[in-house]
Structure 1
Amino acid sequence: MNHDTTPATGTTEAVSTHSVFGAPCWVSLTSRDLKATEEFYTAVLGWTWRQARLGERFRVALADGAPVAGIAAMAGMWQMAVAWTPYFAVSSADVAVARVQERGGTSAVGPISFQPGRGALLADRDGATFGVWEGDLPSNWETWRRAAPAFVRLHTRDAFDAAIFYGQVLDWASAKPGCCEVDYAGDEVLLRSGGDIVARIESGAVESAPDPTIRPHWQVHFAVADVGACARAAELHGGSVLREGADEAVLRDADGAQFTVTSRRTR
């Protein structure tokens, strides 16, 4: 993790994770081939790029001029999987890491200090990778929320057990000002921030036993105007379509990272 793949931008009048916390606040991608990654996401999602301060291996993706994601071409060097990772805002990175470890999860990196905050890369007790960030969020926080992923979804073996784990780590439904609220809708657990659905947790039917075949992971959903056009662009630029419907498609980029495009109509 690095300063330019976390939510911090160094802007003034930033919203702090001490007042808004528990919600996804950034997404980052570890890749092997930076050029292929840039070309793919430019073609599929229309992103533009700016160089990050940490050097040639790092980029910040822009949608309509707003930073929406960080890219680190460090998968081989760091011995990390090629994957998208969501970061959640927390009041204290140290407390969040301690809570994860106390509840059977693991800490892969951090907490590490990056001006103006601290971050860590973690895994829950079922192995799903996620990050936490403590500190300033961009001054255009609401703009990021609108331009960034529609939501992130945790595919796991037991949604309600996972909701308890993340709720305890991230202070969901804690009644503290700025916290996220948790709803239950059928077989899913829904996380709301400011009235918007920002995360979903699913594992199958409520009455069914946890599915041992599921590899728990967080899936990033990007809101797009035309799902079909994104799927065709992915195929044309070295990626693949794993599943496609009228309003949603699961794609794999040219480097192997999986993500979902979701119609803006269904947000």
Structure 2
Amino acid sequence: MARDLGSAQRFYGAVLGWEFRPVELGDGVMVAFHDGAPVAGIGALAGSQGVAVVWTPYFAVDDADVTAARIRERGATMAVGPLSFGTGRAALAADPAGAVFGFWQGQVVPDWSVGRGSAPAWLELRTRDAFAAAIFYGEVLDWGSDRPGSCTVSYEHAHVVLRHGRDTVARISGGALEETPDPEVRPRWHVHFRVTDLEATVAAAGRLGGRTASPVQTNGTSRWVVLADPEGALFTVVAPQDTPAAPGSP
């Protein structure tokens, strides 16, 4: 959700190599494509609806009203909607720990996927109690149920992992996060996008008014860093570990 759709397209097009096309999701919404595959959506919605400029995961549901009722029944918050929008109905909610997410009932862009190809590398929820979060989302969104097409949930390497078929859709990480208004550490969903060259991506973001919002982090296979776009929306870019580091880089 961006205040200036044109500026957002220029920033993410240059930084992440995305191309944008209108789709039948409603006026003021553009879908980003990378190598012909849909990656993400950007809408000029924040100014009109009074919500923050932020990257938010949206989960497809069969019935938005049922999902909203489940959220309320479990003591979580419905923030916006469900509202009719384009070819479907959309809503924003916050889970019991305060992490914001959306859900969508209606037409889905063909071939849009998470966890493979040029789609987001993964979605990650960083929260205080991973098991409590997994139970909440499982009950609200039918994760781990016997319903056909349901995502499977497993516990791997101290994380709750969500898969749809063979594709890893999301990971839930727990920990004693501080009570703080800082959006970089409070419970929230993190959206990760794949890049081939981490340093080049960081440099491009800086030239176009973005900034780094975390140190570069590494594990055995990847390197990643949190960036903020010119309007402050946080997102993570991740590159293979074998990407050569520039001299003097962190």
Q: Give the SS at the match of 1:178.
A: coil
Structure 1 equivalent of residue 45 of structure 2: 74
1:212 matches 2:179: yes
Gap change, CA 1:113 and 1:35, over 3 Å in 2: closer
Q: What is the CA deviation profile of residues 65-101 of structure 1, one whole-angstrom value per residue up to 9, with x for unaligned ones?
A: 3332221233233211110011112222111111111
Structure 2 equivalent of residue 16 of structure 1: none
1:109 shift after superposition: 2.1
1:162 shift after superposition: 0.9
Separation of aligned partners in 1, 2:128 and 2:114:
33
Separation of aligned partners in 2, 1:52 and 1:196:
25
After the TM superposition, which residues 69-108 of structure 1 pair with which residues of structure 2 at under 5 Å, given as runs? 69-108=40-79
Deviates most, 33-42 or 209-218: 209-218
Deviates most, 46-55 or 219-228: 46-55
Gap change, CA 1:211 and 1:187, over 3 Å in 2: farther
Unmatched 5+ residue regions in structure 1? Answer: 1-29
Structure 1 equivalent of residue 225 of structure 2: 249
8 Å CA contact retained: 1:117, 1:135: yes
Letter in 2 for 1:245: Q
Letter in 2 for 1:224: V
Counterpart selection for 2:31 from 57, 60, 67? 60
Gap change, CA 1:177 and 1:59, over 3 Å in 2: closer
1:192 shift after superposition: 0.9
Q: What is the CA deviation profile of residues 121-151 of structure 1, one whole-angstrom value per residue up to 9, with x for unaligned ones?
A: 2111222111112233233245995332111
After the TM superposition, which residues 35-50 of structure 1 pair with which residues of structure 2 at under 5 Å, given as runs? 35-50=6-21
Separation of aligned partners in 2, 1:155 and 1:95:
26
After the TM superposition, which residues 177-256 of structure 1 pair with which residues of structure 2 at under 5 Å, given as runs? 177-204=148-175, 211-213=178-180, 214-243=185-214, 244-245=216-217, 247-256=223-232
Separation of aligned partners in 2, 1:157 and 1:121:
21
Please identify runs of 4+ aligned residues in structure 1 that moved more than 4 A. 51-55, 141-145
RCO (CA 8 Å, sep 6+): is it higher in 1 or 2? 1
Unmatched 5+ residue regions in structure 2? Answer: 243-250
Separation of aligned partners in 2, 1:255 and 1:189:
31
Letter in 2 for 1:212: E
Gap change, CA 1:152 and 1:144, over 3 Å in 2: closer
Separation of aligned partners in 1, 2:142 and 2:85:
23
Separation of aligned partners in 2, 1:47 and 1:121:
25
Separation of aligned partners in 2, 1:142 and 1:126:
26
8 Å CA contact retained: 2:114, 2:121: no
8 Å CA contact retained: 2:123, 2:169: yes
Structure 2 equivalent of residue 155 of structure 1: 126
Structure 2 equivalent of residue 123 of structure 1: 94
Letter in 2 for 1:259: F
Q: How many residues align?
A: 232
1:106 shift after superposition: 1.4
